[in-house]
Structure 1
Amino acid sequence: MHEEELMKEFDLFRISEGRFRISLTTTCNARCWFCHNEGSVPPVQIDGKNGLRHKMHTCSTEEYITLVETLIDLGISRLYFTGGEPLISPKLEPILDSIPLHGKDQFKVILATNGVLLKKKLDSLKSKHIDKLKISLHAFSDESMWNIEKISSVDEVKASIVQAKQIFPEIEINTLLMPENQHENMDIIQFVRDLQIDIEILELVWTDYNRPTYTEKRISTYDLAKDLIHQGGREYINKSGIGVNLKMIDFENCSVRLMDNSLGSSYVGTCQMCPVKSSCVEGFWSIRVDPEGFAQPCLLRSDLRIDLKPLIREPKKLKEFIPLWIGSFMKGVEFSGTGSKERIR
């Protein structure tokens, strides 16, 4: 396979808003039952004392900065900073400080947070070049929040969302539809409609981490979409970019984006012969980088993980490697470039 062909595939990833999700820590102040920790292997575990056991955090701040600078140079249009809870990481602010002023036509910096610590961090974050805050709001009462996340601070999160709306260019709420919050989803949606901000409502995605509860916990967004249309929402399907297609319900001042497994997703070359494709509903849309410096293109295939740390120490090789690796995954061919795979441990 000629490198030119792989570069064309990588260019498709770029212009289709393919993204990198960079996890800064596996540490979190919540314990959401559905969390896959961005595919970190193994996932966070709860010990006998109900405390959390975390992975070693081996990427330094400087290594993260090198990675981010390389991705910007390569033209990656979406850079997500996630966790765990990224606001816990002392590395977050120095990394954000390294990101230059930029236009949205160049790239977007998105910070994903559960919002619990947001109020304390707003003053320091408002000076950073953050284009979008993606805030999880899975509950509208402390009782439901405890059942889902094992914390009770929903009023603080809602207040932080109101404050953040005045500071950041774009705010989006993220909600997973599940039995524990099904009775409160209209309250959450009305809250964001009143604030005139968008919300994305997700269906549970099958992974090895939620295998025991997936069947009983997954709820379709179909009935919710019908209710929103009945309220006057205008429906259409968003098929742009890479990843799962979304059902959009637009109101006058906000949009409700609904994941719907029946709408299909974008699959690439490697997906076609994937042994777990029948369980996959998201398709290929993102590269996830965990705190140890491993990157993987799929939550369901830990055997596809690549160790980027040796390359991060040689930025020129990293810049050469990433496009060809992504291109080969999209094309469905083996790539024998520098980089090491780590099998499931």
Structure 2
Amino acid sequence: MVQDSWQRTIEYVRVSLTEACNFCCPYCRPTAITPESQTNLLSPEEWLVILEAFHQLGIRALRLTGGEPLLYPYLDRLLQKLQDRQWFEDISMTTNGSLLAPRAETLRLLGLQRVNISLDAVEEATFDERTGRTGQLQAVIDGIEASLRAGFKTVKINTVLMESLSDEVVRSLLAYMDKWPVIWRFIEYMPFQGQKFRGPTFEMWHQQLERLCGGKLVPVGPASQTKVVTGFGPATYYRLPQGNLVGFIFPMSHSYCDSCNRVRLTSDGKLRLCLLRDEEADLVSLVRQGKTAQELAQHIADVLQLRKEQHEGADMDVPKRAMWRIGG
């Protein structure tokens, strides 16, 4: 295992495969991304050198993201090569779900173990507003249900809380939680695209759920004991009174910097040490210079010592790299 200078063990890496996406969510990107976002992609072979270096450092979990990772043209080939090597004990993917239904079974057979699907609204007009597209809600629902049929270890739903939700909207989300055997996670809005932080905060959302559910949310505790169910991410998990498992990811009002166990790789091959900071290290250039995985591993271990103790929270400057260029 590799640690940073604050003695945090790094065991989880998120890889953005492409900046391209067929949605245009306002908290991620303000306008549609052109086909240029599919140029200069890393090949599966280049990713394998980088990922072997992380494997040598003891990284246990890998998450594939984007943009929309299902738009990465070599996804199946990369998954097959990873399945052949068995470097990671947990391989998962975050997707908007709209392209998932016809591919869910194949992805599971290629070794994908978990899938997280973004769903920011369950009412069609609001969903269209949240995604910048029309008529895609049913495709996402189909993707969720196909994933449940495919037999992934877990299917999680990610909902970004762009503002406080009415009780009526929250009740509609709770109804879907009863319908689907998924883990629903609620994610605090983060200040990308030049916008400022806005609620609800961790405490506000916790209180609203307890009030509408008619009982206390029971903590599901320590993350190290629940990874078999919840994975390696930063969410804090609770049981609703009716038994459903929900996750909270609130990096602004309820920071988890002291236990942060992950780093990110951008689709242009940069190692980003913190989502909310702009410090990066260029890995793909070293790969293209012929560096071995072992040499790359030593470089990564050195760079990890530059990680800061924490970010500045709601008072932070807006990161220079937009969210769609970092990876979800």
TM class by smaller structure: 0.7 to 0.9
User: Structure 2: which 5+ residue stretches go unaligned?
Assistant: 225-231, 311-319, 323-328
Deviations 1:191-215 (A, max 9, x none): 13332221110111223x2x33x24
RMSD: 3.4
Instruction: Identify the match of residue 74 of structure 1 among 40, 52, 57.
Output: 57
Q: Which residue of 2 aligns with 1:265?
A: 256
Q: 1:191 to 1:115 in 2, by over 3 A?
A: same
Q: How far apart, in 2, do the equivalents of 1:58 and 1:262 lie?
A: 35
- The total of aligned residue pairs comes to 296
Partner of 1:319: 297
Q: Which amino acid aligns with 1:172?
A: K
Letter aligned with residue 21 of structure 1: R
Tell me the CA shift for residue 51 of structure 1.
Answer: 5.9
1:24 to 17, 37, 45: 17
Deviation, 1:176, is 0.5
SS of alignment partner, residue 264 of structure 1: coil
- Counterpart check, 1:310 vs 2:310: no
> What's 1:297 paired with?
273
Partner in structure 2 of residue 329 of structure 1: 307
Percent identity over the alignment is: 20
Describe how 1:281-296 pairs up with structure 2 within 5 A.
284-296=260-272
Aligned partner of 2:26 among 30, 33, 41: 33
The secondary structure found in structure 2 opposite 1:175 is: strand
Aligned match of 2:71: 88
1: distance between equivalents of 2:71 and 2:14?
Answer: 17
After superposition, the C-alpha distances for 1:234-268 in whole angstroms (9 at most, x for unaligned) are 3327564798673624455531112344433224x
Q: What residue in structure 2 maps to residue 148 of structure 1?
A: 130
The answer to whether the 8 Å contact 1:26/1:83 transfers is: yes
Correspondence 1:121 to 2:103? yes
Cα drift, residue 97 of structure 1: 0.6
Determine helix, strand or coil for the equivalent of 2:147. helix
Distance 1:185 1:63, change over 3 A: farther
- Structure 1 distance, partners of 2:40, 2:169, is 36
- Gaps of at least 5 residues in structure 1 are 1-5, 36-43, 268-282, 333-342
Deviation at 1:108, TM superposition (A): 0.9
TM-score (norm 1): 0.74
Q: 1:248 aligns with which of 238, 246, 250?
A: 238
Distance change (3 Å), C-alpha of 1:29 and 1:253: same
Partner residue, 1:198: 183
If the length of structure 2 is used for normalisation, what is the TM-score? 0.77
Residue 257 of structure 1 aligns to which amino acid in structure 2?
G
Give 1:277's aligned residue.
Answer: none
**Which residue of 1 is the match for residue 116 of structure 2?**
134
* Worse overlay, 320-329 or 81-90: 320-329
**Higher mean displacement: 107-116 or 146-155:** 146-155
- Asked if residue 160 in structure 1 is aligned to residue 143 in structure 2, the reply is yes
